[in-house]
Structure 1
Amino acid sequence: MDVKTASLFRNGRSQALRIPREFELPGSSVRIRRLPNGHLEISPLAETGLLAAFRDEPPLSQEHWMDAVPDLPAEPVDP
């Protein structure tokens, strides 16, 4: 198990932890909880939603796009 020392500092009214690069976590949010022994457990939150599902997908090639939709005249509407 790797062991390193990390710095604590103040960011406004919150205490922050500077995580060494080799322990860097993915994403922009983490789950944090205090264990019964007083230690903290920090784990990354999985990104959810449609954007996360397609984030690593390559863009569609031009052949996958729809053909141009014809510009049809509007149909009359009965009042």
Structure 2
Amino acid sequence: MERNVGSLDGKARIGIGILALVAGGLAIGGYWAAGTVVGTVALLVGGILVVTGTTQKCPIYAGTGIDTVEKQ
């Protein structure tokens, strides 16, 4: 699969993903009253965002034909 996530898109995914990972950890740890189900979902979503942001490859983008990579 070719890169289809641009630099700004990737940085936003990484930032939001880290926030979701922290929120999920806090929820699962009992420090945030969102509950373990919400915490688990936040951890999954955060992990996916961080991975797609760092690899700059998104399977959903590939399936829908979206490409945010800056053209030179």
Larger relative strand fraction: 1
TM over 0.5: no
Greater Rg, structure 1 or structure 2? 1
TM-score (norm 2): 0.22
TM-score normalized with structure 1 length: 0.21
Relative to total residues, which structure has the larger helix share, 1 or 2?
Answer: 2
